[in-house]
Structure formats: structure tokens, C-alpha cells
Amino acid sequence: MTTLQAIILAIIEGITEFLPISSTGHMIIGSSLMGIAEQPLTKTFTVAIQFGAILSVVMLYWKRFFNINFQFYKRLLIAFIPAAILGKLFNDYIDMLLENVLVVAVMLLVGGVIFLLLDKWFAKAEEKGDDDLQSDKSAFLIGLFQCIAMIPGVSRSAATIIGGLTQKLNKKGAAEFSFFLAVPTMFAATVYKMYELYKLEGAFSNEEIKLIAIGNIVAFIVAAIAIKSFISYLTKHGFKIFGWYRIIVGALIIILYLAGIELKMI
């Protein structure tokens, strides 16, 4: 992996991690087209740079994370628990799904169709919805929605935003809680995956450390810009553009697959 390839992957991570468009699908396309999907460093790199993306949320919403608020922390924990338990129980099955790029493509397409309909389905929620969760039960139900994202291509952000809308949050509130929930969820998943990769591959070389550091910095900057832009666009224009975009990306994966271009899960 070159420095330029590392920067490109980090830009993809930063843009797609918190938008409801599936970072997995984009990483498949990006790494495969650059010919680095099978390189040993690529999987480690794509996991490690999630730290930068996570830090962007903490930086943008530092008042929420560092203003001691028991209810905020409690509801984040409640929403995190379902994914922590089911992720551990079904880890092998999830890894099996990750081997099938067509699963990613189909989930992108299905999710795209759903997103085309969201603005109509939740019009009342936007008019009367809340900025913050009103109960522990709502937090737990959003956590269950997050578990759907264990299917590659669903998008963790997409699943949790839809979950938030079902719990009477408005679009801004649903998106922001999705960002907040990403911090413990992605942090736990990243630490676990990095530990597993370390056991298999050992310590990183100086060159690998340099590329990972660059990737985290780029992912941090790009994710911060993406989050701010997403909230602004979502509150004004709704979900349709993300639905069409998901459909295009899902169709592109299928076209590349049928054309014989080898797409590798990373």
C-alpha cells in the first residue's frame, strides 16, 4: 500500500462511515480497483483508521460526551449492549457473510429503496419529533436496529437512523444519536479486531505505523466535514439522495462482479 492509496482509503472511510451508504461497499470497490484488497496491511489499515473517524464525533460533540450526564451515558450503554452480545455470539456467521460481495450489493439496493420512502413514512416524526431520546426502552430498540447492520451492506448509520425515527426522534436527533452510538460500538469493534489481527500478524512495521497514522489523521478530518455536511443536508432535503446513491453503488458492485472484475472483501 502506498501513501496515496492509504489517503484514498482514509477519505472513503471518513466520508462513508457516518453516512447511511455503507462504508463496507465503498471499501470493497476502492481497495479492489486499486488492487490492494488482498494485501495483508489493507484489512488492518481499514480497521485501524476507524479510530480517527470515532474521534471526529467526540470532537464535534465534546459537550455531550464530557458534560457529565448520567442519562446520556446510560442510554448509550443500553443501546450498545445488543450489538455487543449478538456480535460476540454470531461473529463466525457475520464473517461468513463478509465473504460474499453480492450480499453487500443486495443490501445496498434494498436499503436504497427503503431510503427513497423514509421521508414519506416519517413525515409526522419530523414535524413532532424530539431531538433527544425520551426513554431507556427507545435506546434499547435503537440498539436492536443497530444489530441489523451486522449484515454487510446494511450500514450501521442507516440502521440506527431508521431506528431513531421509529422512536419518534426527528431526522437531526436520529442522525446525532447514530453518531453518538458509533463511538462505543466502533471503539469496541475496532479494539477487538485489532487485537485479533495482532495475534495473527504480530507487531506493525515502522512503515505500517506511518500509513496508519496518516490514515487516522485523514479519516478524522474528512469524517468531521462529512458529519457536519450530512446533518445540514439531511434537515433541509431528507433521505432520497442517499437512497438513489445506495442503489447506484449496489448496482455498480453487481456490474463489476458480472464483468469478471474480482471484488474482495477486506
Complete DSSP assignment for 19-64: TTT-HHHHHHHHHHHTT-TTSHHHHHHHHHTHHHHHHHHHHHTHHH
pTM as predicted: 0.87
Q: 235-238: long-range contacts (C-beta < 8 A, 24 or more apart)? A: 235/171, 235/172, 238/118, 238/119, 238/171
What one-character DSSP code corresponds to residue 203? Answer: S
Phi-psi region of 132 (alpha: psi -120 to 50; beta: other; left: phi over 0): beta
Handedness of CA 25, 27, 32, 34 (dihedral sign): positive
The fraction of the chain above a pLDDT of 90, given in percent, is: 47
Of the listed ranges 7-11, 55-59, 188-192, 259-263, the least confidently predicted one is 259-263
Task: Write the DSSP symbol of residue 150.
Answer: T
Show me where the domains of the chain are located.
Answer: 3-258
Separation CA 74–CA 30 (nearest Å): 37
Taking each helix axis from N to C terminus, what angle separates 206-237 and 3-16, rounded to the nearest 10 degrees?
A: 30
- Residue 124: band (very low, low, confident or very high) from pLDDT cuts 50, 70, 90: low
- Give the C-alpha separation, 159 to 161, whole Å: 6
Mean per-residue pLDDT over the chain, rounded: 87
Spacing of C-alpha 97 from chain mean position:
17
Amino acid at 261: I
Q: What is the mean pLDDT of residues 114-136?
A: 78
| Size of the chain in residues | 266
Which residues does residue 169 pair with via DSSP β-bridges, in sequence order? 130
Task: Measure the CA dihedral 129/63/82/164, to 10°.
Answer: 10
Contact status, residue 11 vs residue 31, Cβ threshold 8 Å: no
Contact yes or no for 42/265 (Cβ under 8 A):
no
Rg (CA), the chain: 18
Is the pLDDT at 266 greater than 60? The verdict is: no
- What confidence tens digit (pLDDT) does each residue in 171-185 have? 899 999 999 999 999
Confidence of residue 34 (pLDDT cuts 50, 70, 90): confident
CA distance 163 to 156: 11
Q: What are phi and psi of 133, to 5 degrees?
A: -65, 145
